[in-house]
């Protein structure tokens, strides 16, 4: 099926028809440990609709070839599909130009690209990079590596007990040595939605560019990079109903132009001699070697899929699931919710007195319920809340209140077992 032909559930106006949406996702219709699968690990990776699977297999069956290099039919077809996916991404996030959308393997690679291409060129000894206390390791470790290498300083915006950024402290950290602010849009460990638009405006007052880690926001909200006015925005396809290996680093053209390439190799050059290499124009300059062609075409198909649903209704459904799950879980004695920000999206992290989250996860799995237990690649968040780990349920628009009921009932059973 050609990507442009992707059709699915027509836009659901008024009420969210969750059963019709669920029919689009084959993986949801199976049993695990003889129980119907209840998939509440969407923050780690979301499921893939049939139309995206079909698009991937059509590519592999009829179009597979390397891109940008061949004059032959298949190469041109693959190139058209790959570049078509880039244009879909452009529209999806409202970038000015498709060349501002660099294909990467995911958020981690996107942030590392900025660290290598921008950070190593523009951050020097005594300079500062600001991140926040709730970041995923993907938005901590690259900046630590950079600061170590350059003799620069990592500054951290603190958070309160609800898991919200302290914005006065943030502004106080900005100064003439600040070279970059890198913050997450939505926290994978706490669910907090950060006020990134206002934070970007504040940083720009000081002439500081801002990178937004959009891994957890893109699946749940409509993103407009021009409206946000962010300088970089990174996200992963596999968290937004596309295959693994797909992802995007958006950057404003002028800043991407000024950056050094991340990797050297094929496809990113204009001309190579042993004396000197000149680089290709954007986006190729930042995409060395053969990319994940099938995955990025799959990302295009996932964007097509999302255009067939009413995303406002999807977000409202997820919000109601989170509200319902929060209310029910808060009512269980011994359960403590970690992350109680006023604005949250789709993540419910919790701990139970004297029961390790891995035990909670294992018992839930026996009932077919998939959640995540661990530090969620956010160890500083665990340290801030004084817990070794949390159990985390994370919702997508295909989850139901009945699934939340099973989660709650099973958590009650976990407490009984351990009491």
Ligand X SMILES: Cc1ncc(COP(=O)(O)O)c(C=O)c1O
* Binding stretches for ligand X (CB under 6 A): 106-108, 136, 138-139, 184, 188, 213, 215-216, 236, 377
- Mapped onto helix, strand or coil, the DSSP state of residue 205 is helix
- Cα dihedral sign for 234, 240, 242, 244? positive
CA separation for the pair 123, 146 (Å, rounded): 8
Please say which residue, 215 or 407, places its beta carbon nearer to ligand X.
215
Q: Burial level of 92, CB count in 10 A (0-12/13-18/19+)?
A: buried
> 230 catalytic, yes or no?
no
User: For residue 297, how many C-alpha atoms fall within 13 Å in the half-sphere facing its CB?
Assistant: 29
CA separation for the pair 220, 37 (Å, rounded): 22
**CA geometry: angle 213, 219, 225, nearest 5 deg:** 50
In angstroms, give the least distance from the CB of 236 to ligand X.
3
- Residue tagged active-site, from 101, 147, 230, 377: 377
Please say which residue, 52 or 215, places its beta carbon nearer to ligand X.
215
CA separation for the pair 332, 403 (Å, rounded): 17
Please say which residue, 79 or 112, places its beta carbon nearer to ligand X.
112
In angstroms, give the least distance from the CB of 377 to ligand X.
6
Please say which residue, 132 or 410, places its beta carbon nearer to ligand X.
132
By C-alpha distance, which of 213, 209, 197, 221 is closest to 344? 221
**Tokens found for residue 131:** 């991140």
Please say which residue, 8 or 108, places its beta carbon nearer to ligand X.
108
Q: Which residues pair with 250 in a beta bridge?
A: 101, 233
CA separation for the pair 335, 324 (Å, rounded): 15
In angstroms, give the least distance from the CB of 136 to ligand X.
4
**Tokens found for residue 54:** 């079909």
In angstroms, give the least distance from the CB of 107 to ligand X.
4
In angstroms, give the least distance from the CB of 190 to ligand X.
10
The catalytic residues are 377
């Amino acid at each position: 099926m050609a990507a442009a032909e992707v059709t699915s559930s027509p836009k659901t106006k008024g009420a969210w028809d969750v059963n019709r949406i669920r029919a689009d996702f084959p993986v949801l219709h199976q049993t695990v440990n003889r129980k119907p699968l209840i998939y509440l690990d969407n923050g780690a990776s979301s499921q893939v609709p049939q139309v995206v699977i079909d698009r991937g297999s059509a590519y592999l069956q009829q179009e597979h070839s390397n891109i940008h290099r061949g004059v032959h039919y298949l190469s041109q077809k693959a190139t058209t599909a790959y570049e078509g996916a880039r244009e879909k991404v452009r529209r999806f996030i409202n970038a000015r130009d498709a060349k501002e959308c660099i294909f990467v393997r995911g958020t981690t690679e996107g942030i590392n690209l900025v660290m290598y291409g921008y950070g190593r060129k523009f951050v020097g000894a005594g300079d500062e990079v600001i991140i926040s206390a709730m970041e995923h390791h993907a938005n901590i470790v690259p900046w630590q590596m950079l600061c170590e290498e350059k003799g620069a300083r990592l500054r951290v915006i603190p958070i309160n007990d609800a898991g919200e950024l302290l914005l006065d402290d943030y502004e106080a950290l900005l100064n003439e040595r600040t070279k970059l602010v890198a913050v997450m849009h939505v926290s994978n460990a706490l669910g907090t939605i950060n006020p990134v638009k206002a934070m970007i405006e504040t940083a720009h007052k000081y002439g500081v560019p801002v990178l937004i880690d959009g891994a957890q926001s893109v699946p749940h909200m409509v993103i407009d990079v021009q409206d946000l006015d962010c300088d970089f925005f990174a996200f992963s396809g596999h968290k937004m109903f596309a295959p693994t290996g797909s992802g995007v680093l958006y950057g404003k053209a002028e800043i991407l132009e000024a950056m050094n390439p991340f990797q050297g190799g094929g496809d990113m050059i204009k001309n190579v001699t042993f004396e000197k290499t000149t680089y290709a124009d954007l986006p190729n300059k930042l995409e060395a070697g053969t990319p994940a062609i099938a995955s990025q075409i799959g990302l295009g198909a996932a964007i097509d899929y999302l255009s067939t649903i009413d995303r406002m209704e999807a977000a409202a459904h997820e919000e109601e699931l989170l509200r319902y799950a929060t209310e029910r879980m808060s009512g269980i004695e011994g359960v403590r919710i970690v992350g109680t920000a006023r604005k949250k999206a789709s993540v419910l992290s919790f701990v139970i007195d004297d029961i390790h989250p891995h035990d909670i996860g294992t018992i839930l799995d026996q009932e077919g319920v998939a959640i995540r237990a661990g530090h969620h690649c956010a160890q500083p968040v665990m340290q801030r809340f004084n817990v070794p780990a949390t159990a985390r349920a994370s919702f997508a628009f295909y989850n139901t209140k009945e699934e939340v009921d099973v989660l709650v009932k099973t958590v009650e059973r976990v407490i009984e077992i351990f009491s």
